[in-house]
Structure 1
Amino acid sequence: MENKTALVTGSSRGIGREIALKLAKKGYNIVINYARSKSAAQETAEEIESFGVKTLVVKANVGKPEKITELFTAVEDTFGRLDVFVNNAASGVLRPALELEESHWDWTMNINSKALLFCAQEAAGLMEKNGGGNIVSLSSLGARRYLKNYTAVGVSKAAVEALTRYLAVELAEKGIIVNAVSGGAVDTEALTHFPNREELLREAKERTPAGRMVEMEDLANGVMFLLSEEASMIRGQTLTIDGGISLLT
């Protein structure tokens, strides 16, 4: 049987890279999607190939439906199948609600929310040919609670979680399982863009009941669990991995 194939958007760095590496260790061929740094994507590909699997590196801004079509066409042309789609790529403008402009809103919603809808449509077409598959999205606590400067991103992640529920029901008949993972603050490159980064890190370190911050591997482990056979009856859920900080008022 051919190796199964996984596409992880935004997988040249950060959490997406961690997920891609874990999938490669399980024997999946990996499609690495990136938007900016080709060198980072190539470095990730080289590390993944050390596990004896194949990679495909594709530059595509998933906020644009035409680029999504090109991405999935490349997947089909190269591997002929898709078994796992991890909707990880994210971006956004970090400003208070009253300072947001239309371009900020559109940019954030397109990459974080619209991308899931149109990627899921493409993924479903490929997965159905092989009897099904799994879709997992990355969300954050800002989808359900207030985070400073997080208005546009928080709303976009709330849309991801809602869409996860709808997709889980509508794609079930095709053998496709859909879920999401929501994380607390993780010290990634993306966090450097937060104007209140130090405040977020300090609060996470001091208040997380588990005694430490959430790390990238924690979220990647959550994704891998949702992709496992043991989680096959979990549908349309958002698994929160935050060390318990969201339990505090």
Structure 2
Amino acid sequence: MFFKKKMQHDYDLDMHNIPGHIAFIMDGNGRWAKKRKMPRTYGHHEGTKTIRTLALEANRLGVKAMTVYAFSTENFKREASEVEYIFKLPKEFFNLYLKELMENNVQIRYIGHLEMAPIETQNIIKEAIQRTSVNSGLILTFAFIYGGRDEIVEATKVICEKYKNGEISLDDMTEDYFEQHLMTKDLPPVDLMVRSSGECRLSNFLPWQLAYAEFIFDETLWPDFDEEHLHRAIAIYQGRERRFGGVLK
């Protein structure tokens, strides 16, 4: 379902039906900058402001977890200068907003291959995780150097090694057991996935975890996505009947 930026509406949200975990594919930063005759990096810079805005609002609404697709394993195919800039964004983001996130009880986590990032980037993210580790509000997870297929392959390797060593039998291999080997094992199930900019694909983002999530594809470019768009997405989510493979009664 699509909706555009031009909205001025107060949505009467059911506070007893707030999605527990919202995942965002943050698309459209480059196009947003191009429309303003600015470099793509400026769009990424502005997009970090949206993360801060939505994290604080999601936390206020009682959302338990918010996962954002910050950098995919495929993003290394982009221009080297753009990749280099994106690796600098965590420092900029946490320098600006970590204090505010701390004050609002937000906890920082990541999924992906952080070890592939520059050491400075690794240290910045690890410090944010450590400083927010005791917080009990929204869990803000950055999918950073993350690929969904890679996650499934890596989980399968670990499980196969356990089987090879006689630690488990084939009967132990259930969906629940497999999920405990995914990077998201400590996060609640994803209820809602929102992708900005109008593209209608998952782009290798959380393919296992999104099996029964509700999808919303929003035409708004990521830097323009604000609290009202979040409220609208939640209102749409609340208007849907989630059956998880069952039938309406």
TM-score by length of 2: 0.38
Q: Which structure is higher in RCO with an 8 Å CA cutoff and minimum separation 6?
A: 2
TM-score by length of 1: 0.38
- Structure having the higher helix fraction is 1
